Amino acid sequence: MDKQRFGRHRKIMPFEPGSVEALREASREKAASLNQHVLGYGATAEAEWAAAGVAAPDLPAMRKYRLERIRAELKRRDYAGALLYDPVNIRYATDSTNMQLWVAHNPTRHCFVATEGPVVLF
């Protein structure tokens, strides 16, 4: 018979030693994958680009470039970070969808861009 590992009042999600780091890494990977959405440019634009021999924009490179520009300016000004609340600025920094209709009624969407560290969208 297996030895019972938990008492009668088991804690929610008890972790084995060392598993917290694996869980943290899995959480980060999941968050990163959820943020990589593809809205697309539309069939008309993509067909025109293909006919003209124009490559589609490199979105990961664009996102990296924008974030590097923001962080370079924050460093230049010796700021620890910036709290963004304008939907256009949030879109520029994160390439997340704008949600214009939702924020018109619920002006609570913010983004914190750390000079060195994470970008937090809430």
Model pLDDT for residues 38-66, shown as the tens digit of each residue: 566 777 888 898 899 998 888 888 999 99
Considering the domain boundaries, does residue 6 fall inside one? Answer: no
First to last CA, the chain: 48
Considering the domain boundaries, does residue 12 fall inside one? Answer: no
Full residue range of the structural domain in which residue 75 is found: 19-121
Decide: 95 and 63 in contact? Cβ < 8 Å: yes
pTM equals 0.61
Collapse the DSSP code of 59 into the 3-class scheme (helix H, G, I; strand E, B; otherwise coil) and give the result: helix
pLDDT in tens, 73-104: 999 999 999 999 888 899 899 988 777 777 77
Considering the domain boundaries, does residue 8 fall inside one? Answer: no
Considering the domain boundaries, does residue 1 fall inside one? Answer: no
Q: What is the pLDDT of residue 122?
A: 85
Report the domain count for the chain.
1
CATH number at residue 103: 3.40.350.10
| Residue 2 reports pLDDT greater than 60 | no
Considering the domain boundaries, does residue 2 fall inside one? Answer: no
Q: What is the pLDDT of residue 64?
A: 92
Q: What is the pLDDT of residue 22?
A: 78
Considering the domain boundaries, does residue 56 fall inside one? Answer: yes
Average pLDDT (19-36) is 74
d(CA 111, CA 82): 8
Pairing label, strands 81-84, 119-121: unpaired
Count CB-CB contacts under 10 A for residue 87: 19
